[in-house]
Amino acid sequence: MNWGEGDLFQRAQPVGRLAEAIDDYSRAISIDSNNDIFHRCKAHACLKMGRLEEAIESFSDAFRQTYLDRGQTYEKLGRNEEAQLDLLSASKLPRYPKRKR
pLDDT digits (tens, 9 = 90+) for 36-76: 999 999 999 999 999 999 999 999 999 999 999 999 999 99
In a domain, 1, yes or no: no
In a domain, 58, yes or no: yes
In a domain, 26, yes or no: yes
Range of the domain at 14: 7-92
Q: Are 94 and 16 in contact (CB under 8 A)?
A: no
- Domain CATH for 33: 1.25.40.10
In a domain, 72, yes or no: yes
In a domain, 54, yes or no: yes
Rounded to the nearest 10 degrees, the angle between the axes of helix 80-92 and helix 52-76 is: 160
Q: Which of the four pLDDT bands, split at 50, 70 and 90, describes residue 94?
A: confident
In a domain, 86, yes or no: yes
Domain count, the chain: 1
Q: Which of the four pLDDT bands, split at 50, 70 and 90, describes residue 84?
A: very high
In a domain, 100, yes or no: no
pLDDT digits (tens, 9 = 90+) for 15-36: 578 999 999 999 999 999 999 9
